[in-house]
Structure 1
Amino acid sequence: MNPAAPAGTGVTAALRLRSVTRSYGGGTRDGSVVKALDDVSLTIRRGTFTAVMGPSGSGKSTLLHCAAGLDRPTAGRVLLGDTDLTGLSEGRLTRLRRERIGFVFQAFNLLPSLTAAQNVALPLRLAGRRSRRSEVLDALDRVGLRDRARHRPGELSGGQQQRVAIARALVARPDVLFGDEPTGALDSTAGRGVLGLLRAMTDDGRTVIMVTHDPVAASFADRVLFLADGRIRDELEAPSAERVAARMTALSGVEDVEGVEGAGVDAAATAAAAAGTAGVAPC
């Protein structure tokens, strides 16, 4: 039984993956095909914070990109609420991403020549909407940066820049916010601040899905999914950094036995993270 399968009837799902496979290759001389995702099914409940972990090459980013409509699966279905993303045209998929999906990357991706307020307003302008100053300031207020609205990225700390990026992702009031290592470029203090902010977003019904390598970051989530070799191998509810680190160490052992490339997980680093001596930044 897939450990990430639907938890039962009556669950309000923000996102569902049904037998999703994503393959690459087949056009090479030897015809080899690599399955980045291999028949993955899962349900993400609305208003929850989910972390996705796994060794390098396990399929974490591919899972995130397929779930967010940034990449199309080779087989299977992805449903955002009741909307099946799989059959949407590129135009409709682009509009859906603008209106219902937010994305925060490890690199802040802010335009240096624009102020914080102008960076936040950018998605609305790209969508052809005239942004109201009140909604831009409200988004900045939610991340505690209303008083930095006129500052450019170079005048902000790394943590503040990532909070501006989160405000930019929130301004369109998305159903689901995806984060690809959103604290990876931050120090421990700034990273914990951003994670606390993501955690608080679920209080108003937002759904957060985050890829991370760090047990401390994962401990902010309601649920952690562990990937290896393109499959969900395990999950953990109400995680602590210690339990996450132990699961990752165990997963590393399974990967070594199976000979999956990129499996090496540094047990010392995970132990240090579990003890709270490692920051949220990459080890």
Structure 2
Amino acid sequence: MTNSLQEAPAGDGVLGYDDVVRLTAVRKVYGGAVVALDGVSVGLRRGSFTAIMGPSGSGKSTLLQCAAGLDRPSSGSVELDGVELTSLGERERTRLRRRRIGFVFQAYNLLPALTVRDNVALPLRLAGRRPKRRTVEEVLRRVGLGDRMRSRPGELSGGQQQRVAIARALVARPAVLFGDEPTGALDTGTAREVLGLLRETVRETGQTVVMVTHDPIAAAHADRALFLADGRLVGELDQPTVEQVAAQMTRLGADGAGR
């Protein structure tokens, strides 16, 4: 693996057998006119941490939504953990998301009336599974909240609430954890702690994490950074550094301003 920027023209994504998510020639058009994704092909490796970056309007959130089965591509295919998502009906996709996908957003989306333990157990209940107390407590200890299980969200700091959200995403042992700006609402120090937790989860448990971010510091925690512009995959970095990511984002911003 190298630190050099690799150009990745649309449609040339290399899809490996160890990819837990594969997008092939994915195109997403809104309203018959706005092209959010324009023929993206890429594989996301199992047990890796991938950052998705690009200027505003580049299609990075749409890519995440299509990869996670939250949105259906206009054309192309999306395969997640061996299941072709584009062939599933809405009910089947919802069932798959509850069992095989975890989500962490900028907003913590915790239920204030429930304890930390009950918030974490909620996805299992929604999936029709009886949460094991030991499993819930184990994942809370893993994120450093073993002593706050009976607390309610309002009694926690923002960083602690995001740790609860991560524990909730991990409790069902998902094939992929998707994050959409998961540290966007946190201060620098707390964001670094949360990113370190995600990095540790990948390294120690083999969890796959895919994160949309605009922050070069956040992207530098990833194994790989993918760059989008105008709905196309235009490059990637393996083992990215803050400086490399910032330089690439500056170049993409300048290029976009010139169009």
Report the CA distance between 1:4 and its aligned residue.
8.2
Name the SS of the counterpart of 1:154 in structure 2: helix
C-alpha contact 1:117 1:136 (8 A) present in aligned 2:
yes
Q: Computing the radius of gyration over CA atoms, which structure comes out larger, 1 or 2? A: 1
C-alpha contact 1:3 1:234 (8 A) present in aligned 2:
no
Paired residues, number:
251
* Pairing 1:54-133 to 2, within 5 Å after superposition: 54-133=54-133
TM-score normalized with structure 2 length:
0.94
Q: CA RMSD in A?
A: 1.3
Structure 2 CA distance for partners of 1:65 and 1:103, relative to 1, 3 Å: same
Report the residue type matching 1:2 in the other structure. Answer: P
User: Residues of 1 paired with 2:24 and 2:220: CA distance?
Assistant: 26
C-alpha contact 2:101 2:177 (8 A) present in aligned 1:
yes
Report the CA distance between 1:91 and its aligned residue.
1.5
% same residue = 63
Structure 2 CA distance for partners of 1:51 and 1:4, relative to 1, 3 Å: farther
TM-score normalized with structure 1 length:
0.86
Report the CA distance between 1:3 and its aligned residue.
7.2
Query: Residue deviations 1:243-274, cap 9 Å, x none?
Result: 1000111111211222xxxxxxxxxxxxxxxx
Aligned to 2:258: 257
Aligned to 1:210: 211
Aligned to 1:246: 247
User: Residues of 1 paired with 2:75 and 2:196: CA distance?
Assistant: 36
Report the residue type matching 1:79 in the other structure. Answer: E
Name the SS of the counterpart of 2:86 in structure 1: coil
C-alpha contact 2:61 2:180 (8 A) present in aligned 1:
yes
Aligned to 1:2: 9
C-alpha contact 1:4 1:225 (8 A) present in aligned 2:
no
Report the residue type matching 2:76 in the other structure. Answer: G
C-alpha contact 1:48 1:202 (8 A) present in aligned 2:
yes
Report the CA distance between 1:233 and its aligned residue.
1.1
Counterpart check, 1:25 vs 2:31: yes
Report the CA distance between 1:67 and its aligned residue.
0.3
Question: Which structure 1 residue ranges, 5 or more long, are not aligned?
Answer: 27-32, 259-283
* Pairing 1:170-189 to 2, within 5 Å after superposition: 170-189=170-189
Query: Residue deviations 1:106-159, cap 9 Å, x none?
Result: 000001111100100111111121111111101111101011000101110000
Question: Which structure 2 residue ranges, 5 or more long, are not aligned?
Answer: 1-7
Query: Residue deviations 1:55-109, cap 9 Å, x none?
Result: 1111111000000000000000000122100101112111110111000000000
Report the residue type matching 2:90 in the other structure. Answer: E
| Higher relative contact order structure (alpha carbons within 8 Å, sequence separation ≥ 6) | 2
User: Residues of 2 paired with 1:218 and 1:192: CA distance?
Assistant: 11
